[in-house]
Amino acid sequence: MTGALLLTSAPTASADYVRDQQWVLDVFTMQDTWAESQGEGVTVAVVDSGVDASHPDLAGQVLKGKDFTDSGGNAQEDVLGHGTGMASIIAGHGHGHGKGNTSGVMGLAPKAKILPLRTLRTEEDRNADETWAAAVRYAVDQGAKVINLSFSNDYGKTLSDGREAIAYAQARDVVVVAGAGNNGGDISYPAALPGVVAVGAVDKDANLWDNSNTGKELTITAPGVDILSADPTRSSGYAVASGTSDATAYVSATAALVRAKYPDLTAGQVINRLIKSASFLGHKGLKAPDEGYGYGIIRPNKAVTMDIPKGPKEGPLGKLPSQASSKAGSGSAGNDDSSTRAKKKSSSISLPLVLGGIAAVVVLGGIIFAVVRSRGNRGDGGPGPGGPNGGPPAPSMDYPPRQSHAWPPPHPTAAPGQAQHPNPYTSHPPHQGQ
């Protein structure tokens, strides 16, 4: 991928420049949706690089969580920035001094709580199968109702630890959401596992992102291009990025909205509501499930307002074999056996985050820097040279280095106050192909 500026004009006078960049809030008519549900009473576990609990847009939303890395540090710290970004997309509430929360990032479920579970610290760290599996079990035992997995295996399928942990979650009524991958290949693991909500990415025009992985396992798609989120590693505190990572967080947030509005629904019935309320948004000739769009693009407002029958308790996606879920949770409160277990295991898979491909940092105060940030969710493209059966995994070429550009450019290409982008998300009939 080559670096590119994501913004098309210099900052304009507005209530909050950061808030103005969150196009998803407008296309999803979130003000109307929040009148129905804000995710209150629902805990979403973010298995990631930690979550910066001090970020003003997340203050009070982040639970203590747990660090599963060898560092034994604090899950409320995030030196990579990715986990904080996902948390802000899910449950950011913005900030403001005496003017309401009119500044900063708003997530789709601003009253949900975030359980941060740190399973890696830097881009170079291996997110071992048994490490994130222990975090998933811990999330279940701590009462999380949705688990966000914005990462994928670099090579091969999810190992037994991961499969058993996800089965453990499914058997205990938890919605598990994972990114499809960012290399334009097949659906990555763990997203490809039965019962997991596998998420692809679309852009402002409701078109599939070029790098979004596709396949028969894809469940649903969500906005994942030019997404603004919190980032404590940037001087502004924000970044703009693209990837199925961000799309996954939007689906997790929508699941939280549904769980808050309909607390009697099972995890399978929540997934059913996500699917039945989705739409192909004018893409004609598609039949659900489509390998590029799954059952369609999420529509949070419809997910909480449509008259949809509950359906079977197990939901439409099925589950992993139940016998795998019979093991007790190894990461329950006060029990650190999961960390010890992770250290003893020798098998691991290189699991860089589903980091969105191109990112731009938003700097308030009149100076904007566009930063290309790699959110390299590597897809499950098979073992490849030097894969798990032939030594350490070979480096993946779809994880570009960071590049940065000064912003604004010397000659802005668009003038302030230009017409707003049309909203294809509201101009098409409901879900097609079912």
Q: What is the tens place of the pLDDT at every residue in 265-276? A: 999 999 999 999
In CATH, what class is 17-339+348-426? Answer: alpha beta
Q: What is the DSSP string of 33-97?
A: HHTT---TT-EEEEEES---TTSTTTTTTB---EE-STT---TT--SSSHHHHHHHHHH-EEE-S
- Select the more confidently predicted residue: 384 or 158: 158
Asked if residue 427 has pLDDT above 90, the reply is no
pLDDT tens digits, one per residue of 113-166: 999 999 999 888 888 899 999 999 999 999 999 999 999 875 557 889 999 999
Tell which residue, 227, 266, 264, 258, has the closest CA to residue 244: 227
pLDDT tens digits, one per residue of 180-209: 999 999 999 999 999 999 999 999 999 999
| Structure tokens given for 189 | 């693991």
Question: Residues near 126 by Cβ (< 8 Å), separated by ≥ 6?
Answer: 120, 348, 349, 350, 351
Asked if residue 399 has pLDDT above 60, the reply is no
pLDDT of residue 106: 94
- Annotated active-site residue in 188, 229, 245, 325: 245
| Tokens 């090579």 belong to residue | 155
pLDDT of residue 285: 84
Torsion of CA 390, 394, 398, 400, to 10 degrees: 160
Asked if residue 354 has pLDDT above 70, the reply is no
| Structure tokens given for 344 | 């003893």
3-class state of residue 220 by DSSP: strand
Start-to-end CA span in the chain (Å): 36
Q: How many residues make up the chain in this entry?
A: 434
pLDDT tens digits, one per residue of 59-104: 999 999 999 998 878 999 999 999 999 999 999 998 875 566 677 8
Question: What is the rounded average pLDDT for all residues in the chain?
Answer: 77
119, amino acid identity: T
Average pLDDT over every residue of 212-236? 95
Asked if residue 278 has pLDDT above 80, the reply is yes
- 322 pLDDT tier (thresholds 50, 70, 90): low
How many H helices and E strands in the chain? 10, 14
DSSP state of 331: T
Query: Where do the H-state alpha helices sit in 142-209?
Result: 160-171
Whether 264 is catalytic is no
Average pLDDT over every residue of 306-312? 96
Whether 82 is catalytic is yes
CB 90 within 8 A of CB 145: no
Asked if residue 402 has pLDDT above 60, the reply is no
Residue 287: HSE in the Cβ half-sphere, 13 Å Cα cutoff: 0
Distance from C-alpha of 59 to C-alpha of 367, rounded to nearest angstrom: 25
Asked if residue 213 has pLDDT above 80, the reply is yes
Distance from C-alpha of 404 to C-alpha of 361, rounded to nearest angstrom: 9
- Annotated active-site residue in 67, 78, 82, 188: 82
| Main-chain dihedrals φ then ψ at residue 58, nearest 5 degrees | -125, 0
- Select the more confidently predicted residue: 388 or 220: 220
pLDDT tens digits, one per residue of 21-31: 889 999 999 99
- 12 pLDDT tier (thresholds 50, 70, 90): very low
Asked if residue 401 has pLDDT above 90, the reply is no
3-class state of residue 168 by DSSP: helix
Distance from C-alpha of 382 to C-alpha of 215, rounded to nearest angstrom: 14
- Annotated active-site residue in 37, 48, 88, 152: 48
- Select the more confidently predicted residue: 11 or 54: 54
pLDDT of residue 161: 93
pLDDT above 90 as % of the chain? 58
- Select the more confidently predicted residue: 370 or 305: 305
- 323 pLDDT tier (thresholds 50, 70, 90): low
DSSP state of 279: B
pLDDT tens digits, one per residue of 27-53: 999 999 999 999 999 999 999 999 999
| Confidence (pTM) | 0.78
